[in-house]
Amino acid sequence: MSKNLRVKSSKFIDETYRVSFKFNGSRYYGYKGDTLASALLANDIHLVGRSFKYHRPRGIMTSGSEEPNVIVQLHNNSDRTEPNVRATEIEIYEGLEASSQNCWPSVNFDIGGINNLLSPLLPAGFYYKTFMWPASFWEKYEYFIRKSAGLGKSPTTPDPDIYEHEYIHCDVLIVGAGISGIIAAKTAAKNGLKTLLVDEKPNLGGSTIYQNSEHFKINNQNSGSWLEKEINEIKKIDNLDIRIRTSVAAFHGYNFLLARENLTDHLPIEQRKNKTRQKLLKIRAKKVITATGSLERPLIFDNNDRPGILLSSAIKRYADLFGVACGEKNIFLTNNDSAYETAISLIQKGIKVEAIVDNREEIESKLLYEVEKNNVKVFKGFTIVNTNGYKKINKVSLMKLSKDGQKVIGSKINLSCDCLGVSGGWTPAVHLFTQSGGKLKFREEDQVFIPNKYSSEQISIGACNGDLTLEDIIENTPKYLKEFLNIKKTDYDNVEVFSSENKSKRNIWLLPSDKILGKTKSFVDYQNDATAKDIKLALREGFRSIEHVKRYTTTGMGTDQGKLGNMHALGIISETAGTKMGEHGTTTFRPPYTPLTFGTIVGRNVGEYFDIFRKTPMHEWHLKNKAEFENVGQWKRAWYYPKNNENMFEAVQRESKAARENAGILDASTLGKIDIQGTDASEFLNRVYTNAWSKLAVGKCRYGLMLNEDGMVYDDGVTTRLGENHYIMTTTTGGAANVLGKLEDYLQTEWPELDVYLTSVTDHFATISVCGPNSKKIISNVIPDLDLSDENFPHMSFKNTKIGKVNCRVMRISFTGEHSYEINIQANYANSVWEKCMEVGKDFNITPYGTETMHLLRAEKGFIIVGQDTDATMTPIDLQMDWIVSKKKYDFIGKRSLYRSDTIKDDRKQLVGLLTDNPNEILEEGAQIVADVNKSPIEMLGHVTSSYYSPNLKKSIALGVVRGGKNMMGKKLIIPMENKTINVTVADPVFLDKENKRLNA
Amino acid sequence: MFIINCPFCGEREQSEFKAGGEAHIERPKQPTELSDDEWAEYLFMRKNIKGIQFERWNHIHGCRKWFNMVRDTSNDEIKAIYKMGEKPPVK
């Protein structure tokens, strides 16, 4: 089948550099500079894929990023495999392997093609309508639908490529390097502005660069040669940065744009090693000039989707840029002059043009005369009503259009062909403009949406601004640029332009057929197989909003985002509903303009750089001692230290016993620490904590509970009075940043009169906690100068002291209920002090323990963990911590909320202890608590918040929140689990040492 | 992403800031004197305007100062920025 359709050498491809590639397992050849699509066309391959729903054969339709049909899988079954790559964009390289998607077993024989025959049974909304009932079956349906609906396969192994992010700040960003973009870039850069020019294609110059027709001239040269000279000039300008293969994905507010720069996708794989594959450019531009051009519209008629049917502009580009003929017997269907331009290009290259079918009745066009001179038959006022050829078009049928364009009349004329070019006029590419918040207006004459109101310092120029002809571009662009850039003149103020194009157009959104609509397949969205019939059905079923019609019919919801068909969908809706085009607006244009790879989005933030993490000064020691780590906020905290193949349960049991029987040591450095100074520091603490602080003596510590204004517990921790006007507050590990933020907020906004200064010192101090009956002996060896007697250094007090020459603060505070010390020391000395504790502690059986043991030990004592035993619905009263709420203080954050009608209810969830009837049964945290399992529905009373097996009490213990739990002491409750129910008794949450004897043991 | 002109640091990216909800809601000086309804009004009721909105912002990854902003929520245009305690420029 491999015919060679390379017709003429093109200066844009390198015929001395032959490239071999594989498509669907067969080897083919192309040249450097080819896209996969142009190389396939040169090998006479049109059939590249199957459609999504009906599995109809589909071929190359366009030559750019708007391509709906030919999306392929690259390098199947390798770690570089990538789905949904547009064959029209990927440049071929030695070793490229691509395959068709959405077909099985092959693109030539696809079982799914049966859907095409079943299509009368698959109307718009088919899936919604069919798989709704019964609802419980959805999970089962979904599995099969997803399996049959997938577009391509995702890679299953890590991406071997490197991606980067780059920030760019510039005076002017120009998006699109077509003729207007080049004019803008030269003008901006020559005026000394730091300019960035980006274009998604590998070469500059848009569609003008390959325009070598006598019919389009600038300063008496053909427009392509003129532009080439301009491009050569701008390449020499220093303050102009040009990025090719760079597609702007998103245009956000305040001129913030994201673009993807493709650096290696066109290189043979062995040349990509150690190179960055793609960059995400984060561009902040003072001014943005959008010059994204326009996209040619297809036409909507019966069977308009066969392989061999292309946009007229694509046929021109393949011929002029790649020297490839899309067919040997070409026919065009058009409603404007563009198809004639293409026909002339083909004729020049000796490619046969059979006929042009033009919707227009009367045409005054120099291009038309030229075409007719070359013996091409032009059917004026005709349209195509059907096409034939399953895997490639071989025949078209035409009929005369009625005067109003709503019907076809007369008899059918059949013409044979192997390629049909269609042109429905042009749609300005306003995607980026609208993404940025710009508002469109509708231009009646040629039925296009164009920019109306800008949302930032930006303009659209050229075709994307509705200047669709060379004359308009050359005439208007310099004018717009002078105003926008605030300059007096440009190099283009006196450029002479000559164009043979006639602007007339006969716009018919849905071309009439001799068949009734129900019997036609006129595709509006090729990728999602949405037809004109589907859209009309949606309207009949009552959908009116364009956004609803879009979702119901899936028009414009493919990977191409409906770049080709959305305008027709709108047109058909307004024609059917009898409304004006402009009234419906458009569907929302959302980023990205073309799909981005995940690699580009994440850049270097992969693997260990995926997220920031914080390490304590003792981190290396924990590692060396085989700690397992737990993520707490961004911290890595030692979780437990397994010994001799212990599992977590066994390690925690051992550590918990050791801490109570001998001594335990914990790295508590992650707790938030806020240094509070100022003459109003005590008053400040009075206002932020629920308890009173004024009378706390210097050198003493106090536990504090902090609420939100809604009365719910927010954070807790011990605060120490270091001096008359100096405190150090500790917060929970996860809450540290938010607590500081909240305190600063109150100081700056509500109480600016208070003389208080806050400084986070979390990272500056490390905290080593030593607890257990042997802790005193250990500390007395580590800090021999410190008097540890209960008289001098009682529980809840602090001492300034020294270890060697290093100052440190030692607090005698306890989160385990044991006799316990916390050494706070400058972070860089912490590891050596830790090691000293371990060395001295050897004789006293010191055991390092992690956060899990810490949680277990505090649960034995009934101490809460904010965020585990509380959520944002627990007041201190709910926690049975009434003792910490000052009755005397006039006000503190959250006080008023503690007696709102809702917070004083008796049946709020309240914290209680839970003991299982079987002491060996350990509850699951999060398990629901009920009283009666026979009631239907079962009333949920609460849930388990903390649960452990206590090795010290030799039984299972748990904390939970239970509706009205405060008054349920001793009551039996039930925890229903999947296969059993567990009986529990409500108990005091303090399970161990209620008298606090161990604190001074 | 906006560019925000911090009254203390100058123009910075939005990613350095944190939004803090509606501005000019003063904490009652004497909460205990308020009825449940009055307290709830302070605690829970916030406007969510399409159009001109007065907001609090915090330069959290910068000077950590709170300030006020007048923003058109329909197009994110920042109309004014002023320090805490200063009178709003328009109202």
| pLDDT tens sequence across B14-57 | 999 999 999 999 999 999 999 999 999 999 999 999 999 999 99
Q: Which CATH architecture has domain A1-157?
A: Roll (3.10)
- Mark yes or no for CB contact A896/B2 under 8 Å: no
pLDDT at residue number A976 = 95
pLDDT at A245 over 50: yes
Confidence label for A559 from pLDDT (cuts 50, 70 and 90): confident
Residue A923 has pLDDT above 80, yes or no: yes
Please, which pLDDT band fits residue A141 given cuts at 50, 70 and 90?
low
Please report the pLDDT score of residue A139 as a whole number.
61
pLDDT in the model for residue A1: 47
Cβ within 8 Å, pair A900-B84: no
The predicted pLDDT at position A379 comes to 97
pLDDT value of position A815: 96
Out of A117-121, A296-300, A320-324, A392-396, which region has the weakest mean confidence (pLDDT)? A117-121
Gap between the Cα atoms of A811 and A859, Å rounded: 22
Least confident stretch, A96-110, A317-331, A987-1001 = A96-110
A741–B43 C-beta distance less than 8 A: no
pLDDT category, A759, cuts 50, 70, 90? very high
Fold for the domain defined by A296-424+505-517: FAD/NAD(P)-binding domain (3.50.50)
Which of B2, B13, B18 is nearest residue A253 as measured by Cβ atoms?
A: B2
Residue A578: pLDDT band (50, 70, 90) is confident
Please give the average per-residue pLDDT across A859-888, as a whole number. Answer: 95
**In the predicted structure, residue A393 carries a pLDDT above the cut 50:** yes
A439-442: long-range contacts, CB 8 A cutoff, minimum separation 24: A440/A585, A440/A586, A441/A582, A442/A580, A442/A581, A442/A582
Say yes or no for a CB contact (<8 Å) between A709 and B40. no
A505 Cβ neighbours under 8 A, 6+ residues apart: A335, A336, A360, A425, A446, A447
Same fold, A296-424+505-517 and A897-1000: no
The mean pLDDT of A505-529, rounded to a whole number, is: 93
Domain-wise residue ranges, chain A: 1-157, 165-291+428-499, 296-424+505-517, 522-596, 666-857, 897-1000
Give the CATH fold of the A522-596 domain.
Answer: Arc Repressor Mutant, subunit A (1.10.10)
What is the rounded distance in angstroms from the CA atom of residue A747 to the CA atom of residue A724?
A: 20
Residues A29, A4: Cα–Cα separation, whole Å = 10
Residue A144: predicted pLDDT: 58
pLDDT of A150 higher than 60: no
Contacts of A339 (CB under 8 A, 6+ apart): A312, A332, A333, A356, A358, A421, A422, A423
Out of B1, B26, B30, name the one closest to residue A256 (CB).
Answer: B1
Residues of A in contact with B13 (CB under 8 A): 284
Q: What percent of chain A has pLDDT over 70?
A: 96
pLDDT, greater one: A288 or A558: A288
DSSP string, A855-888: HHHHHHTT---TTTT--TT--TTTTT-GGGS-SS
- Using a CB-CB cut-off of 8 Å, the residues of chain A touching B39 are 896-897, 900
CB contact under 8 A, B31 and A455: no
Nearest Cβ partner for B75 among A455, A752, A891: A455
Helix, strand and coil percent figures for chain A, each rounded to 5: 25, 30, 45
Residue A128: pLDDT over 80 = no
The answer for B 9-48 residues in CB contact with A (under 8 A) is: 13, 18, 20, 26-28, 30-32, 34, 36, 39-40, 43
Q: Report the residue of chain B nearest A903, measured CA to CA.
A: B36
* Interatomic CA distance for residues A718 and A795, integer angstroms: 12
Q: Which of B30, B40, B64 sits opposite A744 (nearest CB)?
A: B64
The distance between the two most distant Cα atoms of chain B, rounded to a whole number of Å, is 43
What local confidence, expressed as pLDDT, does residue A153 receive?
84
- Architecture per CATH, domain A666-857, reads as 2-Layer Sandwich (3.30)
Domains observed in chain B = 3-25+34-83 (3.30.2270.10)
Average pLDDT, chain A: 93
**pLDDT of A623 higher than 60:** yes
Q: Which of A305-314, A561-570, A613-622, A946-955 bottoms out in mean pLDDT, i.e. has the lowest?
A: A561-570
| Extended strands (E) in B7-76 | 10-13, 18-22, 52-58, 66-72
Q: Which CATH architecture has domain A897-1000?
A: Beta Barrel (2.40)
Query: Does any CB of chain A come closer than 8 Å to the CB of residue B3?
Result: yes
At A533, is the pLDDT very low, low, confident or very high (cuts 50, 70, 90)?
A: very high
Please report the pLDDT score of residue A108 as a whole number: 75
DSSP code at position A837:
H
Distance of CA A505 to the CA centre of its chain: 41
Confidence of residue A812 (pLDDT cuts 50, 70, 90): very high
* Class of domain A165-291+428-499 (CATH, top level): alpha beta
* Mean pLDDT value across residues A80-101: 93
Q: Which residues of A touch B (CB under 8 A)?
A: 252-254, 256, 284, 437, 455, 709-710, 741, 744-745, 748-750, 752, 890-891, 895-897, 900-901
Give the per-residue pLDDT at A50.
84
Q: How far is B50 from chain A (nearest CA, A)?
A: 15
Residue to mutate among A749, A888, A890, with most B CBs inside 10 A, is: A749
Phi/psi zone of residue A176: left (φ > 0), alpha (ψ -120 to 50 degrees), beta? left
Contact A313, A427 (CB under 8 A): no
Place of tokens 């995702």: A154
pLDDT digits (tens, 9 = 90+) for A33-49: 999 999 999 999 999 98
Nearest to A254 among B1, B34, B84 (CB): B1
Contact assignment for B85 to A896 by CB distance below 8 Å: no
Note whether B3 contacts A901, CB cutoff 8 Å.
Answer: no
Distance from CA of A265 to the nearest CA of B (A): 30
> At residue A132, does pLDDT exceed 60?
no
